Structure 1
Amino acid sequence: MSNDRPTYALNDPIQKSALVTVRDGKLLVARSYGKDAFYVPGGKIETDETAEQALEREVQEELATKLVEESAVELGVFTG
């Protein structure tokens, strides 16, 4: 059986970028229409894409809005 999808070892890192917005002690989350689960907007950083570019793309795709360029700051890198 042919599988054209890339394969990853369990310990291979996956780079992601996510929008974490906290205002007045509340965390902004999203929910897809018809779904019960909430999520933090974001996704995988594509090849030749910066974390900022990935975040802008994901916010546009998931929230149908444009991210104000100067409003994004890096909170840190998390592994685990």
Structure 2
Amino acid sequence: MGAFDKAKDKAEQLKGRAKEKVGDATDNHSMANEGRAEELKGKAKEEFHDFREEGDDKLHDAKERLTDDDRRHNERR
């Protein structure tokens, strides 16, 4: 995941957390719930991006291993 995506996800979490705190402080349950939802949405996006990045890394590693194995096989010929 790029640094920009990570920053956006964190910003969404912080915005949601702030909104939740303001809602709690003003006894505005609707705002507090919206804030919780925004924070969770940001966290879910972050987890998804991390998961996708990990998968991309594993795929890249597998491709490298296959390429290396193929190269070694061709050298033996």
TM-score relative to the length of structure 2: 0.23
Tell me: higher relative CO, structure 1 or 2? Use CA pairs within 8 A at least 6 residues apart.
2
TM-score relative to the length of structure 1: 0.22
Task: Specify which structure has the higher proportion of strand.
Answer: 1
